[in-house]
Amino acid sequence: MKFTEEHEWLDADGDVVTVGISAHAAEQLGDVVFVELPEVGTAVNKDDEVVVIESVKAASDILAPIDGEIVEVNEALAEDPGKVNEDPEGNSWFFRIKAEDLSQMDEYMDEAAYKDFIG
């Protein structure tokens, strides 16, 4: 897994990358009450706003970490947004993106570097 400074995690399986938020981010957000997911088939560029998350504390955007096309979304989160708090780095991923260029992931942190980053 790789991590961004925006507290997203990325897990590549071939050229398809699963994206979610870290346990640290989920904890900071508090209870998630709403998740707006992108449409499958949407082409995105790195840093485009892709997902809107609302919690009891704040609203946040999930940005596309790489260029590509959204190939799957986690519909379970739209139906039950609280799942984000239960398993943020596992079953509560937000979307899968077919990467145009996997080398874009090279700029992100591994788990050890991310743990240092969040201190």
Q: Spell out the per-residue pLDDT of the chain, length 119, in tens.
A: 999 999 999 999 999 999 999 999 999 999 999 999 999 999 999 999 999 999 998 899 999 999 999 999 999 999 999 999 999 999 999 999 999 999 999 999 999 999 999 99
Q: Where are the beta strands (DSSP E) in 23-103?
A: 32-36, 43-44, 49-55, 59-63, 68-73, 95-99
Q: Vertex 78, ends 82 and 43: CA angle to 5°? A: 130
Whether the model pTM is above 0.75: yes
What CATH number belongs to 2-101? 2.40.50.100
What does the block give as tokens for 51?
């997902």
- Position 105 scores a pLDDT of 95
- Position 98 scores a pLDDT of 98
The residue extents of the domains of the chain are 2-101
- Cα–Cα distance between 118 and 87 in angstroms, integer? 19
What does the block give as tokens for 77?
């989160």
Which residue shows structure tokens 């096309």? 69
Report phi then psi at 62, rounded to 5: -100, 125
Q: Which helix (H) or strand (E) holds 116?
A: helix 111-118
